[in-house]
Amino acid sequence: EAGVVQSPRYKIIEKKQPVAFWCNPISGHNTLYWYRQNLGQGPELLIRYENEEAVDDSQLPKDRFSAERLKGVDSTLKIQPAELGDSAVYLCASSLELETDTQYFGPGTRLTVL
C-alpha cells in the first residue's frame, strides 16, 4: 500500500513569491490534514479536510494561505506571497477518521524563504 505522497520535497524561494505544495493521501482515506512544523517544534495543524470540505481551518493564515481538495482526494496548499517566517516543513497526513484510526504522515516539504 502506498503511503502519503508529497511534492516537492524541498523548495527554496525568494520572499514575496508564491509557492504550492501537493499531497496525495492514502487511497480511501477521507480525511486529510496539513500541518506546519517549525524548526525544533512539533507539527501544528493548519487545515483539516473531510472529503472535499474544509472542516477546521482556524489556524490557517487566510490572508496569504489557501488550500483546496478537489474531488476529495489530492490537496494543494498555497502561500502567496511567502514571507521569511513561512520557512518550515509542511506535512500532509491522512486518516480514515474512524474512532480508533491513526493519522499517517507524508515525508513533508521543506520550504526555505530567502
Please tell me the number of Cα atoms within 13 Å of 44 on its side-chain side: 10
Q: How far is the CB of 53 from other proteins (least distance, A)?
A: 13
- List the one residue from 48, 49, 69, 113 that touches other proteins (CB under 8 A): 48
- Residue 14's CB is within 10 A of a number of other CB atoms, namely 9
* Contact of 8 with 90, CB cutoff 8 Å: no
**Min separation Cβ 4 and other proteins, Å:** 9
Amino acid 74 reads D
Q: How far is the CB of 16 from other proteins (least distance, A)?
A: 26
Nearest one of 48, 51, 75, 47 to 61, comparing CA atoms: 47
Cell of 48: 483539516
Q: Is 49 a binder of other proteins (CB under 8 A)?
A: no
Among 106, 111, 112, 113, binds other proteins (CB under 8 A): 106
Residues near other proteins (CB under 8 A) are 3, 33, 35, 40-45, 48, 56, 89, 91, 93, 97-100, 102-108, 110
